[in-house]
Chains A and B, each alone.
Chain A
Amino acid sequence: GEDVEQSLFLSVREGDSSVINCTYTDSSSTYLYWYKQEPGAGLQLLTYIFSNMDMKQDQRLTVLLNKKDKHLSLRIADTQTGDSAIYFCAEMSRNQGGKLIFGQGTELSVKP
């Protein structure tokens, strides 16, 4: 079946940039998403990118999409302690009837 993979942990220092990576297998993906989950909370939509785009920037967030390699990344500039959370990559899979396929999430830890 379709699969989305992410590394489980990332640790950075406050003020540095964070880069969270994701790979997916479905070549028919139309949208790719990044969600943020703080402890005990639901998933907050951070940003998304349409599959015909290479890059999308939104304030401190930059999403890069390499469709050839099926690789998606989320860069957070000037990472703050409030950015500590689990970040989920998800793809909208046409092969699975338009359902969202989630990665396992990357836990970002920001150290002061």
Chain B
Amino acid sequence: SQTIHQWPATLVQPVGSPLSLECTVEGTSNPNLYWYRQAAGRGLQLLFYSVGIGQISSEVPQNLSASRPQDRQFILSSKKLLLSDSGFYLCAWSGQSTDTQYFGPGTRLTVL
């Protein structure tokens, strides 16, 4: 069966520091991968998605970037965090032939 992991689970970082969040998927190959942010207001905002290694689409211009160095690994990064980057970051995957997205456990990021 497929599983999706995210780490770290929680992170507290100072303003201006770099960020690296990791997401990995097991039990499937060539998945579509997604990064979402959930702010305090609950709504989910799609940040990036990827249909293959090195292929990244950005949905919202911002202080973040994403990379996919391996088939089942998706990384969310920032060079300098802003206070507004605080939130709950969720990674999701879907199969190439299905649209249903499955979510990871999330990373709670607090920028102070």
Contact = CB atoms under 8 A, between A and B. Distances in A.
Interface of A: 30-31, 33, 35, 40-45, 48, 86, 88, 92, 98-100, 102, 104-105
Contacts of A31: 99-100
Contacts of A86: 42
B99 A42 contact: no
B42 A42 contact: no
Nearest to B92: A43
Q: By DSSP majority rule, is chain A's interface helix, strand, loop, or mixed?
A: strand
Interface of B: 6, 41-44, 46, 49, 90, 92, 99-106, 108
B103 A42 contact: yes
Given A42-B90, A42-B106, A48 B41 contact: no
Contacts of B108: 40
A105 B90 CA distance: 15
Given A104-B41, A104-B42, A33 B100 contact: yes
A84 B46 CA distance: 25
A51 to B, nearest CB: 12
A49 B100 CA distance: 11
A100 B103 contact: no
B43 A104 contact: yes
B33 to A, nearest CB: 13
